[in-house]
Amino acid sequence: MKIGIAADHAGFEQKQQLIDLLTDAGYDVTDYGAHAYDAADDYPDIIVPLGRAIAKKEVDRGIAVCGSGVGVSVAANKIAGVRAALITESYSAHQGVEHDDMNLICLGGRVIGLALIWELVQTFVQANYDGGERFERRLNKVIALEKNQTIL
């Protein structure tokens, strides 16, 4: 599995640690930045390269870390083809993939520790989209929203 990862200054340390953990676990990891710690960087700037890679299917899944996880989640969901969510517990880490075809997990580097982050990432990357009729119906509505089409 090809995994893309990105973080701003508030998630930079966790990103570096995740790259090592993911690589050791056998994943093909691409770092989309930040590539150096910069206390003045902005999360929208770091999420765009990763989001575009997800949308173009250059990576199978993405991981984004900022201080709370909220900023990268909000910004990433503005990119068509990205289905991102802030995740803080294991159920949503797999259910988001299984039911909603979530392809980007957003994490708060200042609010959860590395052990939980690693648990959530493992759960996320090991989950598979169910693809059942009701999930496809709902996903198609989300895709229509991305294209500014009326769904109701």
Give the model confidence (pLDDT) of 110-133 as tens digits. 999 999 999 999 999 999 999 999
Which H or E element spans position 7?
A: strand 2-7
Q: Report the CATH number of the 2-146 domain.
A: 3.40.1400.10
Residues in a beta bridge with 139: none
> If you ran DSSP here, which 8-state letter would residue 66 be given?
E
Contact 71/45 with Cβ under 8 angstroms?
no
Crossing angle of the two packed helices 114-126 and 12-24, in degrees rounded to 10: 50
- Taking the domains of the chain in order of start, what are their residue ranges? 2-146
Q: d(Cα 94, Cα 102) in Å, to the nearest integer?
A: 9
Catalytic residues: 66, 99
Report pLDDT digits (tens) over 25-36.
999 999 999 999
Q: What is the pLDDT of residue 145?
A: 87
